[in-house]
């Protein structure tokens, strides 16, 4: 049976448990081996899964297969204004990525 990539269970717990419990599952301190990025501030991206992953910000295209993307859209459609704000940011990122990269 294939193992989950390192720290994915922790990431899941952080995203699904209520706040006080989620704090028990901080990102891992070793390289997760497969970083997944989110924008930390104007200039840097950091990894969802580990504290090792950090890079200069690169605008990211939307991954239509991402479970996180689907969950955010569901929450936004259900009326979450926080989720809608994130969806709007991700869409803006996607447009920036399409303008700045040629693939
Ligand atoms: Zn990582």
40-95, pLDDT tens digit by residue?
A: 998 999 999 999 999 999 988 888 898 888 999 999 999 999 889 989 988 998 99
C-alpha 78 – ligand 1 centre gap (Å): 30
Q: Which residues have their alpha-adjacent CB atom under 5 A from ion ligand 1? A: 32, 35, 47, 49-50, 53
DSSP 79: T
> Alpha-carbon distance 3 to 70, whole Å?
23
Phi-psi map region of 33: left, alpha, beta (phi>0 left; psi -120 to 50 alpha): left
pLDDT tens string 16-48? 888 888 889 999 999 999 998 888 998 999 999
What is the radius of gyration, based on Cα positions, of the chain?
15
Residue 84: what pLDDT?
93
**Is 99's pLDDT higher than 80?**
yes
Is the per-residue pLDDT at 103 higher than 70? no
Q: Give CA 102 to chain center in angstroms.
A: 23
Three-state DSSP at 44 gives: strand
Q: How remote is the CA of residue 24 from the centroid of ligand 1, in Å?
A: 18
| Strand pairing category for 54-56 and 44-47 | antiparallel
Beta pairing partners, 54: 46
Quick one: pLDDT at residue 60?
82
Distance from the alpha carbon of residue 28 to the mean position of ligand 1, in angstroms: 8
- CA of 79 from ligand 1 middle (Å) equals 31
């Amino acid at each position: 049976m294939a193992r989950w990539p390192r720290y994915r269970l922790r990431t899941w717990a952080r995203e699904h448990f209520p706040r006080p419990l989620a704090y028990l599952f901080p990102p891992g301190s070793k390289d997760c081996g497969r970083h997944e990025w989110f924008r930390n501030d104007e200039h840097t991206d950091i990894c969802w899964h580990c504290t090792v992953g950090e890079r200069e910000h690169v605008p990211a295209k939307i991954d239509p297969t991402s479970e996180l993307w689907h969950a955010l859209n569901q929450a936004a459609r259900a009326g979450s204004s926080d989720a809608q704000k994130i969806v709007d940011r991700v869409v803006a990122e996607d447009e920036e990525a399409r303008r700045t990269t040629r693939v």
